[in-house]
Structure 1
Amino acid sequence: MADTQHSGPTQQQPVLVVDFGAQYAQLIARRVREANVYSEVVPHTATIEEIVERKPLAVILSGGPSSVYEDGAPQLDARLFDHDIPVFGICYGFQAMAGALGGTVTHTGTREYGRTQLSVDGGVLHEGLPTTQPVWMSHGDAVTDAPHGVEGSPPTPGAPDAAVE
C-alpha cells in the first residue's frame, strides 16, 4: 500500500514580482497566475539572497514612481544577474535593471504617457509579434545608453531604448 501522507505543502517555484511601488504590481502577479504559473509579489527591499533562496522561475521588476538616479531611490542589486534567473523589467524596473548593468538612465525632458508605437526589428523578446505594435508608456525618464552587451529596440518618440534584451 502506498504511503499517502505528505510531509507538508508542495513548494512551487514562483515567478517573483519585485514591487518598486507600482500601482499594478498585484495585477502583474495576477496575470502570471492566470497563465497557470505560481506568482508572488515581494518588496524591493528583499535581498538577493532571499530572492535566490526561493528558486524563482523568473523575476519581474515592476514599475514605480521614483527616478532611478535620485538620492534614496530604490536600487537593484546587480548580483541578481549572477544567477541563472530570467529577469524582465517593466518601466522603473527596466530602468533599474539598465542602471545596475551599467547603462544610463536620464530625464529626457519629454514625458511620454499613453499609447505610442514601438517598432521592433528582431530579437527573442518580440519574436512572433508584429514589427510595429502599440505599447503603453508612462514615464519622464528613459534608458539613454543601453548596457554593454544588450541589444536595444528602435526608439519610441520619448524613449531612445524602449526595450532591450
Structure 2
Amino acid sequence: MRRPETDRPETGAKAASPRPTVAILDFGSQYTQLIARRVRESRVYCEIFAHDVTPAELRARNVIGVILSGGPASVYDEGAPGVDPGVISGEFPVLGICYGMQLMAHVLGGDVVGEGKREYGPATVKIADRAGIFEGLSTEERAWVSHGDTVRRPPDGFTVIASTTSVPVAAMTDGRSRYAVQFHPEVAHTPHGAEILRNFLYRVCGATGDWTPAAFVEEAVR
C-alpha cells in the first residue's frame, strides 16, 4: 500500500522543480540520509523518495538519475519493499546499493540467494572493469559490506564487473546506464566510495556539479 504524501521521506512530495534532480529511493536503510549527504557534497541536488515512486513522478521532478538505497529486508520477505519496474527498466540511470542491487537483480530476472547469515565488515573488492563507476580506481579496493542475500546470477544483459572472495557478483552493469554494487560506497569504511558516487553522478547521470546548498536556500526564500 502506498504511503500517504505526508509520510513520504524528506522533500519528495513537494511541488515539482525544474532543477535536475537525483532521486534516492528509500528502502529502510540506516544510510539513506548519508547517501543524500554524499550526493550533495558532490554539488548535485538530490531528494529522497518513497520506494514505490512511479516513473511519472520522477519525470515530473526532472530526475536525471536514481539511487536505490540498501535496506534490512530480503527480497523474499513477505511485504519486502519493492520498486516500480519502470524505474529500473533503463529510462533512468540507476545505481543500486546492497538491497537495491538485490532488488534490481530480482525484478529484472536475475538470481538472488539467501546466505542464511549476514556478512558484515570490510572486504576486498576485485574490480574487473575500471570504467563507468569504477573509472580511476585500482584493481582492488577496500569496501564495507552488510548483507544477507547475494546475487548469484545477474539479469540478462548485465555483466559482472567486481567480486570478492565470498561474493562472486559484487557489482554489475548493463554497460550503459544501470549499475549496482553489493557494498556501501556512501560510508567512510569504503575509502574511495565518494569517487564511485561521483563517477555515477557525473559520468553516468551527466550531472554538472554546480549546485550548492546556498543556492537552494536562496531559491526557497524568493
Question: In the comparison of the two structures, how many residue pairs are matched?
Answer: 157
Query: Which aligned segments of 4 or more residues in structure 1 are displaced greater than 4 angstroms?
Result: none
Q: Residue 172 of structure 2 aligns to a residue in which SS?
A: coil
Under a length normalisation based on structure 2, what TM-score does the superposition of the two structures give? 0.66
Residues 31-64 of structure 1: CA distance to partner in whole angstroms, max 9, x if unpaired?
1111111111111122232123212111000001
Q: Which of these two proteins has the greater Rg computed from alpha carbons?
A: 1
1:20 equivalent in alignment to 2:3: no
1:127 Cα offset (Å)? 2.3
| Unaligned runs of at least 5 residues, structure 2 | 1-15, 174-222
Q: Residue 57 of structure 1 aligns to a residue in which SS?
A: strand
- CA–CA distance in structure 2, aligned partners of residues 35 and 159 of structure 1: 29
Match of 2:202 in 1: none
Query: Which of residues 114, 127, 130 in structure 2 aligns to 1:120?
Result: 127
1:158 equivalent in alignment to 2:166: yes
CA spacing shift, 1:159–1:37, aligned 2, 3 Å: same
Match of 1:30 in 2: 37
Under a length normalisation based on structure 1, what TM-score does the superposition of the two structures give? 0.87
- CA–CA distance in structure 2, aligned partners of residues 50 and 11 of structure 1: 13
Percent of aligned pairs sharing the same letter: 45
CA spacing shift, 1:108–1:33, aligned 2, 3 Å: same
1:76 Cα offset (Å)? 1.8
1:86 equivalent in alignment to 2:118: no
| Unaligned runs of at least 5 residues, structure 1 | 1-8
Alignment of 1:2-81 (within 5 A): 11-81=18-88
Match of 2:150 in 1: 142
Q: Which has the higher helix share?
A: 2
- CA–CA distance in structure 2, aligned partners of residues 31 and 74 of structure 1: 23
CA spacing shift, 1:152–1:51, aligned 2, 3 Å: same
